[in-house]
Amino acid sequence: MISMAASSLEITLVGVSTVFHHRRRGDITAVKNLDLHIHPGEFLTLLGASGCGKTTTLRMIAGFQPPSSGQIRFGGEDVTHLAANQRDIGFVFQNYALFPHLSVFENVAYGLRVKRRSTSDIESSVAQGLRQVGLQGLGDRMISELSGGQQQRVALARAIAIKPRVLLFDEPLSNLDAQLRVQMRGEIARLQKELAITTVYVTHDQEEAMAISDRIAIMNEGQIVQIGKAEELYQRPVSPFVAGFLGNTNMIRGRVVAMQADRATLDIAGYRWTLVTTAPVKIGDMCDAVVRPEALVLTRDGDGLKGVVESRVYLGAKAEYLVRVGDQVFQVVQWNPVAGELFKAGQGVCVTLPAAGVQLLGAHISSDRSLD
């Protein structure tokens, strides 16, 4: 197993913007004054909806797209104006971008030939690349003879064969079926850790991002709205946008009626809910509590919000409910629902709220507040 940890590179973007000039749409600022620091050897994912600027950001790191302003650094080196082929990057595209008329070997050898490596170096590097992606012995095949998953592996082998300083992926699994996507993402994550090459990965798939990344940067309209580990983003989203983007969520609105040390009591339509919180709220504030569907518990009766089941979807390992409480509808997930404990549409229930682990968002709490 080879390790290149010693040469892992940090990548820094400082105030980077990209403006595209459209004849009909006018000027579009695809990326807005973006600051991003990627640690050496880190697997960082840019996650966001279509059109939020992920590909543009990745292409700027690759050198395919010059920024309109700002600076990009690889380690201490300013690469803002360095040509793509001078940057030592491995890029894996969504459509693989393989040469269909060349063999697997020649596809993987391509970048090495461009770099004028010796024949023996090319042979050993290609063999190693193919071995690392599980395609050993398939060098003579034509691309057209391969499955989609195998083609994706060739693209991956080609990217790592040049021993790049940086690995970049743009939605590399979108064209694969669901099962293969899950398998390939595990292999990409494993290989990335093995090679310890600083990696930027673009996806719009939240689960994929959570499964493979060291950190995730959530983008919206050309900006990073929050960056952190999956669990930080999920448990402590800084805004309703992030809370809604990463997983399903309930925003439970209430007014702070009491504060005591690390606890706040909210009034929700007459019900008093006391929870542990460090949020800077004060008596009288209206807050939105970010409560995940799996953090709510349904019982027949008990201490909690009184509601009525509007609908139920039974999925075996879990049941998903919509429960009406006054003028709000909550999503509730019940894990491992045993038949006798299932609730029916129309049934009156009690919704128990968690006493801790809840993020409170208030109108006065800045949405770009840092988590640490």
Ligand X SMILES: Nc1ncnc2c1ncn2[C@@H]1O[C@H](COP(=O)(O)OP(=O)(O)O)[C@@H](O)[C@H]1O
**93 versus 271: smaller Cβ distance to Mg ion:** 93
* Of 139, 145, 150, residue with least CA distance to 180: 150
**13 versus 196: smaller Cβ distance to ligand X:** 13
Minimum Å gap between C-beta 7 and ligand X is 29
129 binding ligand X? (CB under 6 A): no
54 binding ligand X? (CB under 6 A): yes
Distance of CA 143 to the CA centre of its chain: 30
Binding segment for ligand X among 9-17, 43-51, 89-97, 141-149 (CB under 6 A)?
43-51
From Mg ion, ligand X, none, interface partner of 52 (C-beta below 5 to 8 A by class): ligand X
**55 versus 213: smaller Cβ distance to Mg ion:** 55
**170 versus 288: smaller Cβ distance to ligand X:** 170
**Residues 12, 17, 21, 24: is their CA dihedral positive or negative?**
positive
**50 versus 260: smaller Cβ distance to Mg ion:** 50
8 binding Mg ion? (CB under 5 A): no
What lies within 8 Å, CB to CB, of 184 at 6+ separation is 149, 152, 153, 172, 173, 176
Minimum Å gap between C-beta 235 and ligand X is 25
Minimum Å gap between C-beta 58 and ligand X is 8
Q: What is Dmax (Cα atoms) for the chain? A: 78
Draw the binding track, 16-35, toward ligand X (x: CB under 6 A; -: no contact). ----x-x-----x-x-----
250 binding Mg ion? (CB under 5 A): no
**170 versus 285: smaller Cβ distance to Mg ion:** 170
From ligand X, Mg ion, none, interface partner of 101 (C-beta below 5 to 8 A by class): none
55 binding Mg ion? (CB under 5 A): yes
From ligand X, Mg ion, none, interface partner of 28 (C-beta below 5 to 8 A by class): ligand X
Q: Residue 122: left (phi > 0), alpha (psi -120 to 50), or beta?
A: alpha
Binding segment for Mg ion among 54-62, 251-259, 336-344, 356-364 (CB under 5 A)?
54-62
271 binding ligand X? (CB under 6 A): no
**What is the C-alpha to C-alpha distance for residues 33 and 51, in angstroms, rounded to an integer?**
16
Draw the binding track, 218-237, toward ligand X (x: CB under 6 A; -: no contact). --------------------
Please report, as ranges, the residues that interact with ligand X according to CB under 6 A.
20, 22, 28, 30, 48, 50-56
